[in-house]
Structure 1
């Protein structure tokens, strides 16, 4: 049987959205009857424990001698070195690059991306696809990741709480504490399991988007699905879905604009229930456009057409 093999970076300890997407893709393909596996030296990360779709993914142990056959479809992550790049080029149309972030086009200096313009590629957003097309990629398909709306859903009761992920803007932790620490409880999301993240989002009223150079940006969508009023940075991949109707947004990197957006969100939650409910409803509708079921259906159809 022809296989789909995901080339994998070995990440075990720190939660990274791109890792989750690969595990969910492999698990979803297996549920659809396609033999799919992840080529990795590591098992599923502990922070994904409890994710039933990711648990269905099969690991092809990269620490042992393995055979990747000419009939296999090799799906490379977007971060690879020259050696793996040569493997991709040598496989022709039996290789695909899964771009979860377009910034590698500028940061990965070891790769001459012009060599890969004929390699079929998946982009997680229309913004990422546009960047690939701009540098000459000819065969680009947009397949956006999905949200597990059974996990990321509003709690019956919410605390007056602002949550945020400071990983890409660590200096914002002190700024938010100084500016808003007396107005609401602040919850930092950094290093928790997926289930713990979902619990924090589901019980929070506000989520601050602090993404940087996002290919798509799943956290704001997960926050919308969990019933948070989203505010903060919108740029690059998040522009696929960030709208005035579903949050209070400002240009990526505009710190003062971000603080003003949080101010608006706080006032809306406490003083303007009509606007608050409208934005929550719009957020839930936005998140519904990125369902996990839709992601699996789209990636299954794509892989079937390539196998």
Structure 2
């Protein structure tokens, strides 16, 4: 949802008429700071020159939207779409039998490839997602002995990894921080203060939390979730085979050992990780893609 809001901001800043539509009158997402244009859905009448951008999570109900209004499916997780196909081929109809569909957007090369292979007749384009360096960047002060993770991602795996690390004494002297029910600003602040981020990603579109952790100078260890494979690069991001708890524990222990034996260990990677994210996922690339994609569609 945050990314949808940011896209609307970018389009409006460029002079294109865009808004977030919410069914509940007066509703606005509040867990991240925004001044995005939000409109009650009941107050909008769409015409043939408009574009209706819908998330992939609407599933088969996308076909129930008003007809003769061009659609763009903003698919931020192709694996959600694949899972829906297990319940019946009818869930493919938004992509295969939808005369109003103009384009499908994907947020990673992995997901774009999946969508092209699954729906070969459907136009798919990758949107290069940008990470805001004003919010996600290394700290000016020294990092704390903090290990951060998102508990909503594979909670059983997270509990198993942390339990073994604690039992073996690897986390002695470390602050283990579960980032949950936090605003975006609070999350970024915690990531900036952490030396380690554990990724429990599972079949992601891209996987923003590990990527944002990298931008904040964290060493990231864990599952890339397929969509995140493109940025899990050693030495600042170390991938672990999916569901391999023992390998996960061994890798974290080795990183902690390196940190303990070399006080400059994390500092040597902070700049590299931030530079990698800044060069690979700049906000300018996302903005350019949005203007190219929607500018072209609105002119057609």
Instruction: Sort the TM-score into its range (normalised by shorter chain).
Output: 0.7 to 0.9
CA contact (8 A) 1:148 1:292 kept: yes
Q: In the alignment, does 2:9 pair up with 1:23?
A: no
The corresponding residue for 1:266 is 256
**Quick one: distance in 1 between partners of 2:192 and 2:210?**
12
Q: In the alignment, does 2:104 pair up with 1:124?
A: no
With 193-202 and 280-289 compared, the bigger mean Cα shift is at 280-289
Give the superposition deviation at 1:149.
0.9
Q: In the alignment, does 2:169 pair up with 1:189?
A: no
Q: Of the candidates 149, 165, 168, which is equivalent to residue 179 of structure 1?
A: 165
Q: Of the candidates 124, 136, 147, which is equivalent to residue 152 of structure 1?
A: 136
The alignment yields a C-alpha RMSD, in angstroms, of 2.2
TM-score of the pair, normalised by structure 1: 0.84
CA contact (8 A) 1:249 1:261 kept: no
Q: In the alignment, does 2:35 pair up with 1:59?
A: no
Larger CA Rg, structure 1 vs 2: 2
Please list the CA deviations of residues 3-50 of structure 1 after superposition, one character each: whole Å capped at 9, or x if unmatched: xxxxxxxxxxxxxxxx1100000111111111101111353322113x
Give the superposition deviation at 1:160.
0.6
Q: Which runs of 5+ in 2 are unaligned?
A: none
Q: Which runs of 5+ in 1 are unaligned?
A: 1-18
**Quick one: distance in 1 between partners of 2:158 and 2:251?**
16
Q: Of the candidates 225, 229, 254, which is equivalent to residue 219 of structure 2?
A: 229
Q: In the alignment, does 2:147 pair up with 1:167?
A: no
TM-score of the pair, normalised by structure 2: 0.86
**Quick one: distance in 1 between partners of 2:244 and 2:114?**
22
Give the superposition deviation at 1:247.
1.7
Instruction: Find the residue that maps to 1:240 and give its secondary structure.
Output: helix
Please list the CA deviations of residues 47-73 of structure 1 after superposition, one character each: whole Å capped at 9, or x if unmatched: 113xxxx42x211202x3431111101
The corresponding residue for 2:228 is 238
**Quick one: distance in 2 between partners of 1:188 and 1:86?**
39
**Quick one: distance in 1 between partners of 2:37 and 2:74?**
18
Please list the CA deviations of residues 228-250 of structure 1 after superposition, one character each: whole Å capped at 9, or x if unmatched: 11111123100121112332211
**Quick one: distance in 1 between partners of 2:163 and 2:147?**
10
Q: In the alignment, does 2:82 pair up with 1:82?
A: no
**Quick one: distance in 1 between partners of 2:63 and 2:268?**
47
How many equivalent pairs are there? 281
Q: In the alignment, does 2:83 pair up with 1:107?
A: yes
**Quick one: distance in 2 between partners of 1:44 and 1:36?**
15
Give the superposition deviation at 1:306.
0.8
Residues 192, 125 of structure 1: alpha-carbon distance in 2 compared, 3 angstrom cutoff: same
CA contact (8 A) 1:129 1:142 kept: yes
CA contact (8 A) 1:37 1:59 kept: yes
Instruction: Find the residue that maps to 1:223 and give its secondary structure.
Output: helix
